[in-house]
């Protein structure tokens, strides 16, 4: 069984699909979100949280 090589976490991106749009967050941005939301964001949860993430990003932008 072959193991896919891990990408450097520094350069890793998490991608969420929001309707027809896709959103990419860098590892650093994800860390900030994890701290702000006090949750650990996994790729599976990313889709469920995508709407909340957009709301938070809009809130921070003000």
| Tens digit of each residue's pLDDT (9 = 90 or more) over 16-48 | 554 444 556 667 777 677 667 666 666 656 666
- What was the pLDDT predicted at 9? 46
Contacts made by residues 52-57, CB under 8 angstroms, sequence distance 24+: 53/16, 53/23, 53/25, 54/18, 54/23
- What was the pLDDT predicted at 56? 67
- Show the tokens assigned to 16: 């969420």
- What was the pLDDT predicted at 42? 62
Q: What pLDDT band is residue 11 in, cutting at 50, 70 and 90?
A: very low
Residue 5 has pLDDT above 60, yes or no: no
């Amino acid at each position: 069984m072959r193991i896919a090589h891990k990408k450097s976490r520094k350069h890793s991106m998490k991608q969420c699909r929001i309707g027809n749009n896709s959103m990419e967050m860098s590892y650093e941005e994800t860390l900030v979100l994890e701290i702000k939301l006090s949750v650990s964001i996994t790729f599976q949860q990313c889709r469920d949280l995508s709407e909340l993430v957009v709301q938070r990003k809009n809130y921070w932008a003000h």
